[in-house]
Structure 1
Amino acid sequence: MQMKSLWGATTLALLVTGNVAAQSWPNPDLRPLHGDIHLSGGFLPDPHDLRVNAGGPIRVSNFQSGCSGYVSEAPTVSVHWSSGSGGLPLFFTTTNAERDPTILVRDPGGAWHCDDDGGTGLNPLFEAWNARSGRYDVWIGTFSDTRGAATFRVTELSDRMDDSSSSYSQPLDSTPRATVTGRPPNHHLSPRFGVINLAAGFLPDPHSLNVTAGGNIRAGDFSSSCVGFISDAPTARLEWSASSGGLPLLISARSDADTTLVVRGPDGSWHCNDDGAGSLNPLFATTAPRSGRYDIWVGRYSQGTASAVLNISEVIGNVSTAHGDDDCDWDDPDCW
């Protein structure tokens, strides 16, 4: 569901001086009912949750057709956001709601946005791609005029979060080990496209590297779990510094060709994948990454070579079906 950009200060002033002048309306100058949240890009733990009371006496549709729900006059909460230099999106949604919740947001530029069911199930969603720094005033409403409680959620990880869990809405499993029965590729050789040094919480996410996929070695010759053709030397090497933040480590490739992955972990284990990221793109995932060296081979399912982009991420949406336009501006409606 697309976000609806509603009105600016001028339009609000016209409304107040018109037929609804005697009515109250959402007022961002009032103290938020549940206080202020101060967050910066790359915050941990993610998501940030706050239990709030949803709903109120003000019918939002009185001010803009297409908006639903009832809200309070004062904001439910104000989010003070510092975007940093990363490229992650900013999401506001709800979970564990007693009623059908809605959301109304006034962004730092003074524009208003509303949504009803853009999130998971009946939960609303506000999303800002390349979100600007500043104060976001948020009203959590209810579809009917009956009030109830809800959990307000701020996250950069996914725009589809499960109601009862702070984990990804799609299950994420670590890529299983491959049983080695033959001679594997040579991880002692220098990687063809260099060494990548990253630490948990890195920005921008994903980290991307242009590479050439494929080679002359049949991956299935050293393990029946592997497919495709790879080079003897690693395509790239990741030197990884882990933390206790709880995010996974995700290595994927994107190409017009059908690509595969072979990864040797810091403990010497081998892992292979073909289409784990969807659309013939492979994915290596570990939900409890350890520090150390990850040797990476980007292969091609058939013989020959192809251009590919190697992506390293901690956000599942960045390597599968998330919004794909890195140049999308946060307040461009074509990005929603």
Structure 2
Amino acid sequence: MMKFIRPLVKFKNSYLLALIAAISALPVVAQPANFGTMTLSPGFKPAQGTATGFTGGSYSLSTIANRDRNNSPCIGFGDTNPDHILVLDKGFERLKVQVDSKGNDTTLVIKGPKDSISCGDDTGSNKDASIESAKWRAGTYLIWVGAIDAGAKYKYTLSVQE
């Protein structure tokens, strides 16, 4: 009886290892955006670059990155899924991504092609977040709109401007 059990155990272990290897080789499925996707090309109309949503969640956005490519801190709390997906058909010389929550304390984290990270917090004396930068590559950008306080729910309008 023992002679039969040992090969069976070896078979099960080999099968289990093969199954684990196969599962880990599968690509990670992208999570959908909470509030949809915007696809933009140079010269887009302002309405095409506008979306709405609300903050909320206790996921620390610093988990995505502690600091961005300009060494700005990535702060705030949001959902694990991105709030918006921005698809740029072509590159842009300059874009501004801005949150308008009527002055609540919001933050932004944008993860772009090649895992480039941009983070934003207050805009001047306004507590709403924004990111403005040059040389936006064509590709897909995941956008998280966060709040300084975990779980805070603020309605907002997100706008992308050339």
- TM-score in same-fold range (> 0.5): yes
Q: What residue in structure 2 maps to residue 209 of structure 1?
A: 51
Pair 1:289-2:132 in alignment? no
List aligned pairs for 1:156-195, cutoff 5 A. Answer: 188-195=30-37
Q: What residue in structure 2 maps to residue 311 of structure 1?
A: 159
Q: What residue in structure 2 maps to residue 255 of structure 1?
A: 101
CA distance in 2, matches of 1:308, 1:187: 28
Give yes or no for contact 1:274–1:283 (8 Å, CA) kept in 2.
yes
| CA drift at 1:209 | 1.0
Change (3 A) 1:194 1:188: same
Which of these two proteins has the greater Rg computed from alpha carbons? Answer: 1
Change (3 A) 1:277 1:292: farther
Change (3 A) 1:285 1:251: same
| CA drift at 1:204 | 2.8
Query: What runs of 5+ residues in structure 1 fail to find an aligned partner?
Result: 1-185, 315-336
1:229 is matched by which residue type in structure 2? F
TM-score by length of 2: 0.70
2:147 is matched by which residue type in structure 1? R
Change (3 A) 1:277 1:234: farther
Greater fraction helix = 2
Q: Which runs of 4+ in 1 moved over 4 A?
A: none
1:267 is matched by which residue type in structure 2? K
| CA drift at 1:267 | 2.1
| CA drift at 1:261 | 0.2
Q: What SS is found at the alignment partner of 1:267?
A: helix
Q: What residue in structure 1 maps to residue 70 of structure 2?
A: none
Give yes or no for contact 1:250–1:283 (8 Å, CA) kept in 2.
yes
| CA drift at 1:210 | 1.1
Give yes or no for contact 1:205–1:313 (8 Å, CA) kept in 2.
no
| CA drift at 1:207 | 2.2
Q: What SS is found at the alignment partner of 1:298?
A: strand
2:87 is matched by which residue type in structure 1? E
Pair 1:239-2:87 in alignment? yes
Q: Aligned pairs, how many?
A: 127
Pair 1:228-2:76 in alignment? yes
| CA drift at 1:206 | 7.0
1:303 is matched by which residue type in structure 2? A
Pair 1:301-2:158 in alignment? no
CA distance in 1, matches of 2:138, 2:32: 20
Q: What residue in structure 2 maps to residue 72 of structure 1?
A: none
CA distance in 2, matches of 1:294, 1:277: 24
CA distance in 2, matches of 1:207, 1:220: 26
| CA drift at 1:253 | 0.7
CA distance in 2, matches of 1:187, 1:295: 14
CA distance in 1, matches of 2:38, 2:105: 24
| CA drift at 1:285 | 2.2
Task: Pick the aligned partner of 1:218 from 50, 57, 60.
Answer: 60
Give yes or no for contact 1:216–1:231 (8 Å, CA) kept in 2.
yes
Change (3 A) 1:277 1:313: farther
1:282 is matched by which residue type in structure 2? A
Query: What runs of 5+ residues in structure 2 fail to find an aligned partner?
Result: 1-27, 68-72
Percent same amino acid among aligned pairs? 28
TM-score by length of 1: 0.35
